């Protein structure tokens, strides 16, 4: 009887396993074809995107113009775009494999230009530097180029209201132009000068973007074609349910799910994207208009987020991914506004911002560490801080600490955006060392790789920098796209790549430090305004946010392509 029971149990398990293996999988079919110009010549590097249910998948045409998209069955809106050609779209069904060819007409539309393209047409002078310093903190210059040739008077009416409820620093909102000077004692003069400069370079009589002048020609731009590696990559984008949220920084949990901050007042949430179900959950924060910025997961799996708003009684928020439970933590009497977070091996928090803070997650106690940042007007001329100065003016230095990271030895690294400095803090001894990398105008994001090299995004100088701690040596890596403006960085600690979000050139950029090669994957969305990316060690995906498009997404390269 016992043997019979075993035989029946074995037969049942065998049948169950066979049934599981026999479960039908989601049908996968292809949309494929050839992209050519009107003469029949193949177009290399065209981007073909298929959208369904607010999800986009995009790939590239090869040297022979051929492309292929493997998709679940369904109806898709398929669109093709290529620089120097007019866009084209069709509705295609992936319920069965089929050919969808595209023939593109040569042409150049203003919405095809990236901010890097626009800036190539402008001179390099203090007037353009002031426009860049004030405007590119939010978006690229493409927005001004499409601004309808506005006059200075129109700009003066628009600027005080353009960021209402949106920008987390509120530089103009509430009907008052504050600008980004520190302290903002020159609001009216700054508004007048900036509006004058905007009319000069983007207004009715602009030599570049006036409706009365010949439009730019393709030969006016150094537009870099995609590398062979990029032709073997796939970009995925997903629409965030809530609109106008300002998705800023993204990171992944141990299960490969993506979490991101919704920094604008219309958002004020922390979003989660479940990678398996492809669904969003948005957690509303307990304090209104708290402006979450750049968070981090600690070793215990808890997500920590800095709250950057000036008027609230909290500096940090913790969120338990298991149940969504949130707690806030304040530093009474301390005016520092945190910006980005790093978590050390003990699970304690370090924050950048208007000051440098340490938070003990066990005792819930804060401590502020003072960094020897230059004071007053004692800073180099060739810096982003200097760009803010009006003619005859010398503003005091803005001491904001932009980013923070921790190396394997527990050293805490920070960056000063306005003057392009790095600081290293030793928590055991209290020692602080400053570093002034060569040729830096400013530094935004920083990252530490698996060899403890410190990488930094030289935003205004448009290169990625590396500091080799062992060799005490700085190295610069300049991407192919001129004026790219690398914003955020993340390190692929498995394969050694450094990834950056290129705000001005509108790329997701991969650097191979071994060869110095860049692979610039263009965003499908024009002027996506990507901020802080995140590499997922579980899947190898590199996630990004699109702050002005209410999207998140990821890039992946074909694993079998070398």
Indicate if the pLDDT at residue 12 is higher than 70. no
> How many angstroms separate the CA atoms of 562 and 558, rounded?
9
- Which pairing describes strands 233-239 and 551-557: parallel, antiparallel, or unpaired? antiparallel
Segments in 167-307 forming alpha helices (H): 187-202
For 154-175, the pLDDT digits (tens) are: 999 888 877 665 554 544 333 4
Residue 165's pLDDT is what? 56
The token pair at 497 is: 């790549």
364-370: average pLDDT: 97
Sequence-distant (6+) residues with CB within 8 A of 359 are 315, 316, 329, 348, 349, 350, 351, 365, 366, 367
The token pair at 100 is: 């969808």
217-237: average pLDDT: 94
- Quick one: pLDDT band at residue 529, thresholds 50, 70, 90? very high
Residue 95's pLDDT is what? 60
Q: What percent of the chain has pLDDT over 90?
A: 70
Residue 353's pLDDT is what? 95
369-374: average pLDDT: 96
* Range in 376-380, 516-520, 537-541 with the lowest mean pLDDT: 376-380
Residue 380's pLDDT is what? 85
Q: Which residue has the higher pLDDT, 139 or 200?
A: 200
For residue 181, give the nearest of 416, 375, 395 by alpha carbon: 395
Handedness of CA 248, 249, 252, 253 (dihedral sign): negative
Indicate if the pLDDT at residue 389 is higher than 50. yes
- Quick one: pLDDT band at residue 349, thresholds 50, 70, 90? very high
Residue 179's pLDDT is what? 52
> How many angstroms separate the CA atoms of 26 and 15, rounded?
22
> How many angstroms separate the CA atoms of 329 and 302, rounded?
14
Indicate if the pLDDT at residue 50 is higher than 50. yes
Indicate if the pLDDT at residue 290 is higher than 90. yes
* Range in 22-31, 334-343, 426-435, 511-520 with the lowest mean pLDDT: 22-31
For 74-108, the pLDDT digits (tens) are: 889 999 999 999 988 888 766 656 788 999 999 98
- Quick one: pLDDT band at residue 178, thresholds 50, 70, 90? low
Indicate if the pLDDT at residue 8 is higher than 70. no
The answer to whether 167 and 159 are in contact (CB under 8 A) is: no
Mean pLDDT, rounded, of the chain: 89
Residue 111's pLDDT is what? 80
Segments in 410-476 forming alpha helices (H): none
Indicate if the pLDDT at residue 30 is higher than 90. no
Residue 475's pLDDT is what? 98
> How many angstroms separate the CA atoms of 523 and 529, rounded?
10
> How many angstroms separate the CA atoms of 194 and 75, rounded?
48
- Which pairing describes strands 473-477 and 486-491: parallel, antiparallel, or unpaired? unpaired
The answer to whether 243 and 550 are in contact (CB under 8 A) is: yes
> How many angstroms separate the CA atoms of 109 and 127, rounded?
26
For 543-561, the pLDDT digits (tens) are: 999 999 999 999 999 988 8
> How many angstroms separate the CA atoms of 318 and 322, rounded?
12
Handedness of CA 115, 116, 117, 120 (dihedral sign): positive
Residue 147's pLDDT is what? 67
Residue 168's pLDDT is what? 45
Domains of the chain (ranges, CATH numbers): 28-107 (2.60.40.1120), 111-220 (no CATH), 415-535 (2.130.10.10)
For 121-167, the pLDDT digits (tens) are: 999 999 999 999 888 877 888 888 876 689 999 999 888 877 665 55
Residue 162's pLDDT is what? 78
Task: Give Cα 134 distance to the centre of its chain.
Answer: 19
Residue 456's pLDDT is what? 98
> How many angstroms separate the CA atoms of 230 and 365, rounded?
47
The pTM (predicted TM-score) of the whole model is: 0.91
For residue 337, give the nearest of 382, 294, 288 by alpha carbon: 294
The answer to whether 486 and 501 are in contact (CB under 8 A) is: yes
The answer to whether 524 and 89 are in contact (CB under 8 A) is: no
Residue 172's pLDDT is what? 39
Indicate if the pLDDT at residue 185 is higher than 50. yes
406-413: average pLDDT: 98
Residue 170's pLDDT is what? 44
**137-146, 200-209, 528-537: which is most confident:** 528-537
For residue 351, give the nearest of 312, 324, 314 by alpha carbon: 314
For 556, other C-beta atoms within 10 Å of its C-beta total: 14
Sequence-distant (6+) residues with CB within 8 A of 483 are 115, 116, 119, 120, 462, 504, 505
Residue 28's pLDDT is what? 75
522-537: average pLDDT: 96
- Quick one: pLDDT band at residue 18, thresholds 50, 70, 90? very low
For residue 217, give the nearest of 140, 124, 146, 117 by alpha carbon: 117
For residue 509, give the nearest of 537, 481, 550, 536 by alpha carbon: 481
């Amino acid at each position: 009887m016992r043997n019979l029971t075993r035989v029946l149990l074995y037969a049942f398990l065998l049948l169950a396993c066979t049934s599981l293996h026999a479960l039908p999988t989601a049908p996968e079919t292809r949309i494929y074809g050839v992209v050519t110009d009107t003469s029949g010549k193949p177009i290399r590097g065209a981007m073909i995107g298929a959208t369904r249910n607010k999800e986009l998948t995009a790939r590239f045409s090869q040297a022979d113009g051929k492309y292929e998209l493997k998709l679940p069955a369904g109806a898709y809106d398929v669109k093709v775009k290529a620089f120097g050609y007019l866009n084209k779209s069709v509705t295609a069904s992936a319920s069965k494999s089929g050919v969808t060819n595209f023939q593109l007409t040569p042409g150049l539309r203003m919405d095809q230009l990236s901010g890097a393209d626009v800036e190539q047409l402008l001179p390099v002078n203090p007037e353009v530097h002031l426009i860049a310093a004030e405007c590119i903190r939010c978006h690229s210059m493409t927005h001004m180029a499409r601004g309808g040739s506005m006059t200075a008077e129109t700009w003066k009416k628009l600027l005080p209201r353009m960021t209402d409820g949106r920008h987390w620093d509120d530089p103009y909102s509430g009907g008052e132009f504050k600008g980004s000077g520190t302290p903002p004692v020159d609001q009216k003069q700054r508004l007048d000068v900036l509006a004058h400069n905007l009319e000069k370079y983007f207004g009715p009589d602009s030599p570049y973007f006036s409706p009365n002048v010949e439009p730019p020609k393709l030969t006016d731009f150094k537009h870099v074609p995609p590398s062979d590696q990029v032709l073997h990559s796939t970009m995925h984008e997903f629409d965030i349910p809530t609109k106008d949220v300002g998705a800023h920084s993204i990171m992944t949990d141990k299960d490969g799910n993506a979490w991101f901050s919704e920094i604008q007042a219309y958002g004020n949430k922390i979003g989660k994207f479940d990678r398996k179900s492809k669904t969003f959950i948005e957690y509303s924060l307990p304090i209104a208009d708290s402006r979450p910025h750049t968070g981090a997961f600690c070793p215990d799996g808890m997500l920590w987020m800095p709250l950057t708003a000036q008027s609230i009684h909290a500096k940090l928020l913790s969120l338990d991914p298991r149940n969504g439970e949130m707690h806030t933590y304040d530093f009474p009497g301390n005016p520092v506004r945190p910006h980005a977070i790093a978590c050390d091996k003990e699970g304690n928090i370090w924050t950048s911002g208007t000051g440098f803070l340490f938070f003990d997650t066990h005792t819930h106690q804060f401590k502020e560490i003072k960094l020897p940042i230059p004071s007053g007007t004692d800073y180099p001329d060739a810096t982003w801080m200097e760009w803010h100065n009006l003619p005859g003016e010398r503003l005091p230095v803005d001491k904001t600490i932009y980013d923070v990271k921790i190396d394997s030895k527990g050293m805490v690294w920070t960056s000063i955006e306005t003057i392009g400095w790095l600081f290293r803090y030793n928590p055991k001894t209290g020692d602080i060392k400053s570093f002034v990398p060569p040729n830096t105008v400013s530094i935004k994001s920083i990252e530490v790789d698996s060899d403890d090299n410190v990488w930094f995004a030289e935003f205004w100088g448009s290169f990625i920098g590396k500091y080799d701690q062992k060799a005490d040596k700085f190295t610069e890596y300049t991407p192919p796209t001129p004026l790219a403006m690398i914003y955020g960085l993340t390190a692929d600690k498995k394969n050694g790549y450094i990834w950056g979000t290129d705000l001005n050139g509108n790329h997701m950029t991969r650097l191979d430090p071994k060869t110095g090669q860049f692979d610039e994957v263009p965003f499908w969305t024009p002027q996506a305004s990507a901020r802080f990316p995140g590499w997922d060690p579980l899947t190898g995906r590199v996630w990004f946010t699109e702050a002005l498009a209410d999207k998140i997404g990821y890039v992946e390269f074909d694993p079998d392509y070398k």
